[in-house]
Amino acid sequence: MAAAAGCGGSSKAAKSGLAADAADAAGKTVSFEGDAVAEGMTGKLTGVLDFSGDVRADFTITIAASDDPKAPPRMRTVMDGEAEYRSAEAYTNARPQAAKALGGKHWVKSEASSVLHLNTSGAVLGAVTLETDTDLVEALAAVFESGVLKPDGAGHYAGTVDAGTLGASTFDAAHRAAITSAMRRTSVTAEKLEVWLGADGLPAEIKYVDDVAAGKKPSHADLRFHDWGKPVTVASPPASDTIGFDDFLTALKTTIAAG
């Protein structure tokens, strides 16, 4: 993975205690869980992340409450490089015809989207990891380098971050434009970010509260990370149990038309 422009050997990140430069191995795999509110849904997240090569992840969202009565009780997402797989229940709860369109398969495959990055780190860090091909620790180092996260004692840092605060010392113009665009796609205008570092200098907890555009539903989360550097398992679903997203949509339209 390419390091974010301007964050290599970051003095501010180093002074914060973040082990960005020493995290080549330990900072590449991690398990996490958390509580989140987004798009009118309240739920719990559990999963694993692997940044040792192409981004790989396996995480589940269990929905506790939702403004949408057709929201599924749980959704699982597996990401393997450029491919993203979503479990069938992400579609079958909303439309009963979806089960038939799936043809007995349990996974829908599509190109990787921003769902992994945004669900596992928030809009700002998610946009940085997505658009600069960095891992979570490198992205956090870039945010520390911006100087907006201030220490508040006991390894705790807090501040409000938006694309404008990630200046030229952190990213070049092209990356800043891409990060801004990624944030706009989520309707997030700024993010109140809190970070706790563990004794190993790696993120132990990240909380975020998003400021969103008028008319959009706010989101916030409390994410807890553990077992940095320990092996994790991420396995793509078998091809025999997977349908492509475009093929699924075509089958769904045919099923609906047939009544």
Lowest mean pLDDT across 1-10, 36-45, 237-246: 1-10
DSSP assignment letter at 164 = G
Q: Which domains does the chain have, with CATH numbers?
A: 11-257 (2.50.20.20)
Which of residues 190 and 65 earns the better pLDDT score? 65
Could you tell me what percent of the chain has a pLDDT over 70?
86
Please report which confidence band the pLDDT of residue 113 belongs to, taking 50, 70 and 90 as the band edges: low
For the whole model, what pTM was predicted? 0.83
Give yes or no for residue 93 having a pLDDT over 90: no
* Tens digit of each residue's pLDDT (9 = 90 or more) over 36-83: 887 788 899 999 999 888 888 999 999 999 888 888 889 999 988 889
Whole-number Å distance between alpha carbons of 1 and 133? 6
For 49, the 3-state DSSP assignment is strand
CA dihedral 93, 94, 96, 101 (to 10 degrees): -100
Q: What pLDDT is stored for residue 242 in this prediction?
A: 97
Own/partner pairs, 177-183, CB within 8 angstroms, 24+ separation: 178/127, 178/131, 178/132, 179/127, 179/128, 179/131, 179/132, 181/131, 182/114, 182/123, 182/126, 182/127, 182/130, 182/131, 183/123, 183/124, 183/127
Most confident among 115-119, 182-186, 232-236 (mean pLDDT):
232-236
Predicted confidence band of residue 108 (pLDDT cuts 50, 70, 90): very high
- Between CA 108 and CA 40, with CA 51 as vertex, the angle to 5 degrees is 50
